[in-house]
Amino acid sequence: DVKVTQSSRYLVKRTGEKVFLECVQDMDHENMFWYRQDPGLGLRLIYFSYDVKMKEKGDIPEGYSVSREKKERFSLILESASTNQTSMYLCATTQNYGYTFGSGTRLTVV
Partner 1 sequence: KNEVEQSPQNLTAQEGEFITINCSYSVGISALHWLQQHPGGGIVSLFMLSSGKKKHGRLIATINIQEKHSSLHITASHPRDSAVYICAVLTDKLIFGTGTRLQVFP
Does residue 110 bind partner 1 (CB under 8 A)?
no
Does residue 106 bind partner 1 (CB under 8 A)?
yes
Does residue 14 bind partner 1 (CB under 8 A)?
no
User: Which of 42, 20, 49, 43 lies closest to 107 in space, CA to CA?
Assistant: 20
Q: Which of 19, 29, 102, 107 binds partner 1 (CB under 8 A)?
A: 102
Q: Which of 15, 95, 103, 108 binds partner 1 (CB under 8 A)?
A: 103
Within 41-102, strands assigned E span 42-49, 56-57, 64-70, 73-78, 87-95, 98-101
**β-pair type (105-109, 10-13):** parallel
Nearer to partner 1, 24 or 80 (CB): 24
